[in-house]
Amino acid sequence: MKFISMFHSLMLLIAFSTAAYSQKVPDSTRQILTAILDRWHRDAADGKLDAFIGAMSSTGVYIGTDPSERWTTDEFRNFCKPHFAKGKTWNFRPVSRNLSVSKDSQTAWFDEILDTHMGICRGSGVLQMQEGVWKIEQYVLSAAIPNSLMKPVVKTKWGTDSLYLQYLEAGIKNPEQSLEMKAIFDKAEMVGTIILFDPQKNEFMGYNPARWEVGYLPASTFKIPNSLIGLGTGVIDTNYIFKWDGKKRRMAQWDRDLNLKQAFAVSCVPCYQELARKIGPQQMKENLGRFNYGSMDVHPENIDLFWLEGKSRITPRQQVEFLQRLNEGKLSVTPSVLAIMKDIMVNEKTETYILRGKTGWAIRNGNNYGWFVGWIETKGRVFYFATLVEPKDQQQVSDFALARKMITMDVLRHLEIIR
């Protein structure tokens, strides 16, 4: 009896709350809302961009049929503008509509059946009264699929949905744009991944996110933390010279005396092995732990090799997170050390952007793979990236070194971060 009494009380509370929040739509209000929504659809068909977007709240959201299509009002304007300019509009004809209004007449809900170029669709949304004017706060467009067709439709899109889910679960808002990056890797005859992070939007972008959490040897990208630790501990400074011992090395550009900036630029492995030995395993481990830099396996026996071979691993996502902490001054290094590091990391500088980064090349289980990690500064914004590539044909590595940066730059152009 006590349970029944509680259940009845709960049902009464729900019924009272619903009644208090909504009311029958007055005819005058219905006419106004109907006219607003009908005109909104006509403005889209006629390509009247200002009127179409102007009907939405400044904080509004438009959600389309594709998983990637969620736009704020400003983003939706930017999406519509080039289409409307080319006369590529859409004509959604309302067939039926249901309306509800809050008791204070400040909020309205609706759902409607639409006749569209995609067949029958359903639109639903919310309008709010703002300074005496109804504004569309949210609109959701959905493709209406008859139950009898659901199985073949699901079968048709199952493969695409499976791919999309990988990207959506990785925080990528535009899976289709990301999947298009495969062509960039294919053109270079490479497989791999790229992760980019836009801190201004707190948004990840990239290709093949399944590999973002897979650990790899850092290879020569480790020259970034190696330099930081050497400078921070006072083991070296910008005037330090790595003396060439006169022995021929694997790369001709290593066969000379080099300062820190020069050694970084030509990725001199013997120079940085010397630096790691000067730092020593204890200071190396302490600083890497403080940096939270991947999972490095450091001990006295491998102090000058641990980033090139063995068990040390860092994931593409960890590379990006480390770079962001570095650039934002969150690694507990002095401002002077940070300034030196940013200077030696400059890879390319143009009138429109500054590219900072480091490449790396390692061999794992007989397979070559390479890194390009860093960040790009352009138009007052920063984008962090980590690219990891492997040749499709491991016997053909002649273009491999160039492909690491080339793929990165092509992706940045694809995303219109640079031109």
- Inter-residue contact 248 to 385 (CB < 8 Å): no
Instruction: Indicate the range of 64-68, 114-118, 262-266 predicted with least confidence.
Output: 64-68
Q: Provide the token pair at 286.
A: 């302490």
How far from each other are the two terminal CA atoms of the chain, in whole angstroms? 72
**pLDDT band of 177, cuts 50, 70, 90:** confident
As a CATH number, domain 22-143 is: 3.10.450.50
Name the packing angle between helices 335-344 and 316-327 (round to 10°): 120
Q: Provide the token pair at 361.
A: 């090349």
Cα Rg, the chain, nearest whole Å: 29
Instruction: Indicate the range of 137-141, 223-227, 360-364 predicted with least confidence.
Output: 360-364
Q: What are phi and psi of 390, to 5 degrees?
A: -135, 140
AA letter at 259: N
pLDDT over 90 at 313, yes or no = yes
**Residue 281 burial (CB < 10 Å; 0-12/13-18/19+)?**
middle
**Residue 175 burial (CB < 10 Å; 0-12/13-18/19+)?**
buried
Select the more confidently predicted residue: 260 or 24.
Answer: 260
Identical fold between 22-143 and 177-414: no
Kind plus residue range of the DSSP H or E element containing 358: strand 353-364
- Inter-residue contact 360 to 343 (CB < 8 Å): no
Q: In angstroms, rounded to a whole number, what is the distance separating the alpha carbons of residues 71 and 78?
A: 9
pLDDT of residue 172: 86
As a CATH number, domain 177-414 is: 3.40.710.10
**pLDDT band of 20, cuts 50, 70, 90:** very low
Q: In angstroms, rounded to a whole number, what is the distance separating the alpha carbons of residues 260 and 223?
A: 10
**pLDDT band of 179, cuts 50, 70, 90:** confident
Break the chain into its structural domains and give their ranges. 22-143, 177-414
As a whole number, the mean pLDDT across the chain is 92
Instruction: Could you list the beta-strand ranges (E) of 105-208.
Output: 107-116, 119-130, 133-143, 190-198, 203-207
pLDDT of residue 96: 97
- Exactly one of 178, 220, 227, 267 is catalytic; which is it? 220
pLDDT of residue 397: 66
Concerning whether 162 is annotated as a catalytic residue, the answer is: no
